[in-house]
């Protein structure tokens, strides 16, 4: 079992992002928000640490990523600490584009990066165990996510 990505943010930063998840998803519990943000942090960390992997979040994890991105200073500082800025390119949701193999590869890479994975948050868009209002989906590894490494020098 890997480490929790929760430690990538300070308590105040983490609480602020969790609050955004709950504001955007009024039916979510504090426990749900904590799980979603933790998983989004692990996803972003893996993207930054292994940019060639071309990872894709589940719809639930993407909702946590959206909340994190809204905290621009926190997000920029996180990406800088991780070594590369992880850009987000949204796509309209389409459950027919869900690819279980891509999600499996993504969670495997997150684990390779040293983070634990909550499998309940990586299901298909129509089978989410945590309800989110996200209107974005990443379907494959053809390019919705781009990591730009920090300039050298």
Residues 6+ apart with CB under 8 A from 85: 48, 76, 79, 147, 148, 150
Q: How far is CA 27 from the centre of its chain?
A: 20
Of the candidates 47, 25, 20, the one whose C-alpha atom is nearest the C-alpha of residue 135 is: 25
Rg for the chain, CA atoms, rounded = 14
Alpha carbons 120 and 127: distance in angstroms, whole number:
10
Q: What is the pTM of this model?
A: 0.82
Give the pLDDT confidence of 4-17 residue by residue, as tens digits.
899 999 999 999 99
Q: For residue range 21-42, what is the model confidence (pLDDT) as tens digits?
A: 999 988 889 999 999 999 999 9
Q: Which of 10, 131, 125, 27 is nearest to 73 (CA)?
A: 10
Helix, coil or strand: residue 118: coil
pLDDT (tens digit per residue) in 66-92: 999 999 999 999 999 999 999 987 777
């Amino acid at each position: 079992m890997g480490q929790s990505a929760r430690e990538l943010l300070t308590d105040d930063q983490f609480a602020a992002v969790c609050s955004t998840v709950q504001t955007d998803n009024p039916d979510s519990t504090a426990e749900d928000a904590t799980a979603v943000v933790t998983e989004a942090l692990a996803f972003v960390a893996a993207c930054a640490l292994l940019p060639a992997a071309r990872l894709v979040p589940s719809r639930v994890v993407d909702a946590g990523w959206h909340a994190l991105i809204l905290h621009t200073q926190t997000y920029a500082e996180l990406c800088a600490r991780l070594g590369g800025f992880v850009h987000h390119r949204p796509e309209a949701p389409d459950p027919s584009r869900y690819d279980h193999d891509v999600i499996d590869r993504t969670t495997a890479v997150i684990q390779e990066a040293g983070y634990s994975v909550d499998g309940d948050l990586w299901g298909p868009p129509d089978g989410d165990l945590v309800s989110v209002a996200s209107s974005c989906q990443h379907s494959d590894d053809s390019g919705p996510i781009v990591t730009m490494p920090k300039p050298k020098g």
